[in-house]
Structure 1
């Protein structure tokens, strides 16, 4: 007797079981060059990182780390190289922009892109693993480093003592003779002062705390890069999936709802501000602020619907594939109109009430979601979406770098100054919270307003001078402008 076949409405078809992860780590202990590179990069990072403010030290530490990992493992794919370059670009934002909130976003994103450069992820599963694997590797890497040190100095017990003795003698000679030469010649003393960084007790203590942390993270990164985990996929077995009508009917109804909303929005998108200025219409605040966040939520939820339907929709025949392309393609296209509507609402609100960091940031997020939907359309045409998760991360990284190029604090100040010159309305309290990036724009204000704002910035720059770790182009330009144009009297 043959087994009964599954009914047409059954949702059980074939699926692969969860993959098996195995992680044995590197097959060889680290060599001398690798150990020296890791120790040197950790030392440079501990000395250079300015934890209390934005500065070039973050780029210096990131560059040292990338070079150390390049010594550890020279063969990388172009995707790993691209993620590594993106990491350096994100850390480099701190060298040219003074906005702390922007740099915090860049550092958090750099932590993710740096992890991705170690594992070369190509799907969602490996991307999620790439975020957590380097942290686990930091603990596993310490025995690996210890084994490398033992192998390096095995059978030569006198080598570490000799190295310490030679280093101590060299340091004493340099200090004694350098001090004598400096006391004998003022020009040489000034040269030594410029070349040697000034270290205080706090900086030295901070470096002592940072060094073991950075070394553990770098060792974990090297451990992951040399011996990444392997994922084994088993043979395909029973899996959950939708039948055609099971997913097509809800998505088709959602398409019709989107179409009705888009038809209403067309009158607003092409009708200018008459909708909000007309008799009985909502105010700017009610129209823009009351709908933007809902539309932003709609955009995000639409991505979830597309991801679920695209993941579990059947592709067994031509009708299945055509249904995916038509229904999900229509949903993505209509979602782009929703993105345009949300962007228009925020633009209306900004024109009426001015620009702020939050408004610029959410506008950037909405534009990024629009780029994601364009990628979804491409994936729908090809019916291949495995590349979408890395593409979404690349869009987010590129959008953040584009925001840094825009220079948001200066952009906000410029737009608000333009609005003041046109309408006479301005929020000086908010503009006073902007970073040194905004100084060139604030300098365009009338003398009394300009003096009130620039005096605050000048006082902050004077109270917190930059050293070699916290050197920053925006603060340098602000100091030069304030030295040239002294703020007047604040009334």
Structure 2
């Protein structure tokens, strides 16, 4: 890739971001920008590029800030993998941040290439001028309020400041991507650590965990089928209290067991067919039993939320637990041959897919709907919590009786969107507010 083409590609990508991106809210422009940048860079891995676009496209579905920020970070990581690649766990980790680190090397590389290939005469002074203005204008504006007001009146910050930042950010990242394409990094570590643990070293501890988990699963099956009466007799707790106390511990068990499986699979010495059968059998049994624990944790969280109400944190951690269950299924598939270079990519890819699935669920609207259904059954509802939810929840809240709806939606205003910031959830919320009554709040 010639330096002039790299410069044009970076300018094109930066300009697309400045024009298409709505910097202050989720909207359709995020996905459009990703498509344009990938089209300009061209040499990308289509699977990761499609995942990146899907993650940025969540901005057209939800307004929830916390979820969209997660999707943006994940979309950037997927975009980096689309450029740099990576197969092993080490390579996937480095590949997900390769563009950001490559930018630091890409900018000097581009300057050297432009100088060596005879760049247009005005290229260097224009770039140096832009850099100096970006540094000194904010400093001088911060030093004198009158000067800052003059700048704002001449060049409104919301009209130019945001697009300039977007232009520079996306343009420089594109330079980093082009540098990685021109000089592909070696991400997958070729060094192999010795498998130093003999069967007695890993067989006993992993076998002990299998026995422990089997005993626990037996009690779990009894509790699940025994229901509230059994738990009340044996533990002195209602099932909701029982679920509330146990979920977080089971989540920790799920995560820690995944670490045990990874370390054992990595360092266990497998020299004979007997070693291989023991390793496959013990890790397979541990993974299957952990899947039952995952199911128990999810059941506990469901009962917990039915009793105490749905919240963002509870839905998020339940989604994480569900994703961990998928990871264990992937580990079981990899354990068939005890060899799976695809596993690291699959784990990260399913994590990204879980974020997209969560956005499709529209969690804050789902939370509002479930809490309203719980209110209809029990008469208990936290209107203050519903009022703190994002615009995603407005259509569900609008179904409440008039007085309660007014309490939950009072002072709620939704700005109009342009074509860049169009968002389905915000459009539905705006329509629900227009059709609702803004009278007196009655709790």
TM interval, shorter chain, is: 0.7 to 0.9
Which secondary structure state, in structure 2, belongs to the residue aligned with residue 381 of structure 1? Answer: coil
What's the counterpart of residue 470 of structure 1?
Answer: 421
User: 1: CA distance between counterparts of 2:305 and 2:197?
Assistant: 44
What's the counterpart of residue 352 of structure 1?
Answer: 307
Q: Please identify, of 311-320 and 249-258, the stretch whose mean Cα deviation from structure 2 is larger.
A: 311-320
Note the alpha carbon deviations across 1:203-248, whole angstroms, 9 max, x for none: 3022223322321111001211232113697797x82421111110
What's the counterpart of residue 214 of structure 1?
Answer: 170
Note the alpha carbon deviations across 1:96-135, whole angstroms, 9 max, x for none: 2111111011011112111111122111121122134322
Structure 1 residue 424 displacement after superposition = 1.2
Q: Please identify, of 59-68 and 393-402, the stretch whose mean Cα deviation from structure 2 is larger.
A: 59-68
CA 1:424–1:41 in 2, change beyond 3 Å: closer, same or farther? same
2:195–2:268 CA contact under 8 A, matched in 1: no
User: 2: CA distance between counterparts of 1:106 and 1:476?
Assistant: 20
Structure 1 residue 349 displacement after superposition = 0.5
- Matches of residues 68-107 of structure 1 in structure 2 within 5 Å? 68-70=40-42, 73=43, 76=44, 80-107=45-72
Structure 1 residue 282 displacement after superposition = 1.1
Count residues with an aligned counterpart: 413
What's the counterpart of residue 182 of structure 1?
Answer: none
Q: Please identify, of 101-110 and 283-292, the stretch whose mean Cα deviation from structure 2 is larger.
A: 283-292
Structure 1 residue 148 displacement after superposition = 5.0
Which secondary structure state, in structure 1, belongs to the residue aligned with residue 87 of structure 2? Answer: coil
Match status 1:129 vs 2:84: no
CA 1:242–1:207 in 2, change beyond 3 Å: closer, same or farther? same
Structure 1 residue 429 displacement after superposition = 0.7
CA 1:432–1:231 in 2, change beyond 3 Å: closer, same or farther? closer
Note the alpha carbon deviations across 1:343-399, whole angstroms, 9 max, x for none: 111111111111111111111111111111111111111211322111110111111
Which secondary structure state, in structure 2, belongs to the residue aligned with residue 426 of structure 1? Answer: coil
Task: Say which of 9, 20, 24 aligns to 1:52.
Answer: 24
RMSD: 2.5
Task: Say which of 389, 392, 405 aligns to 1:437.
Answer: 392
1:41–1:68 CA contact under 8 A, matched in 2: yes
Note the alpha carbon deviations across 1:14-54, whole angstroms, 9 max, x for none: xxxxxxxxxxxxxx53343x432320111221343333322
What's the counterpart of residue 109 of structure 1?
Answer: 74
Query: With structure 2 as the length reference, what TM-score do the two structures score?
Result: 0.87
Structure 1 residue 279 displacement after superposition = 8.2
Which secondary structure state, in structure 1, belongs to the residue aligned with residue 271 of structure 2? Answer: coil
User: 2: CA distance between counterparts of 1:479 and 1:465?
Assistant: 8
Match status 1:310 vs 2:275: no
What's the counterpart of residue 332 of structure 2?
Answer: 377
What's the counterpart of residue 487 of structure 1?
Answer: 438
1:45–1:211 CA contact under 8 A, matched in 2: yes
User: 2: CA distance between counterparts of 1:235 and 1:409?
Assistant: 46
- Matches of residues 413-432 of structure 1 in structure 2 within 5 Å? 413-432=368-387
Task: Say which of 231, 253, 256 aligns to 1:298.
Answer: 253
Task: Say which of 15, 22, 30 aligns to 2:3.
Answer: 30
User: 2: CA distance between counterparts of 1:102 and 1:129?
Assistant: 24
User: 1: CA distance between counterparts of 2:121 and 2:77?
Assistant: 41
Match status 1:249 vs 2:204: yes
Which secondary structure state, in structure 1, belongs to the residue aligned with residue 194 of structure 2? Answer: strand
User: 1: CA distance between counterparts of 2:124 and 2:93?
Assistant: 41
Gaps of 5+ in 1: 1-27, 162-198
Structure 1 residue 326 displacement after superposition = 0.9
Match status 1:142 vs 2:107: yes
Note the alpha carbon deviations across 1:175-218, whole angstroms, 9 max, x for none: xxxxxxxxxxxxxxxxxxxxxxxx94333022223322321111
What's the counterpart of residue 262 of structure 1?
Answer: 217
2:228–2:239 CA contact under 8 A, matched in 1: no
CA 1:279–1:221 in 2, change beyond 3 Å: closer, same or farther? same
1:97–1:437 CA contact under 8 A, matched in 2: yes
User: 1: CA distance between counterparts of 2:419 and 2:67?
Assistant: 21
Query: With structure 1 as the length reference, what TM-score do the two structures score?
Result: 0.78
Gaps of 5+ in 2: 126-154
User: 1: CA distance between counterparts of 2:39 and 2:235?
Assistant: 64
1:30–1:144 CA contact under 8 A, matched in 2: no
Note the alpha carbon deviations across 1:74-117, whole angstroms, 9 max, x for none: xx5xxx21111111111111112111111011011112111111
What's the counterpart of residue 148 of structure 2?
Answer: none
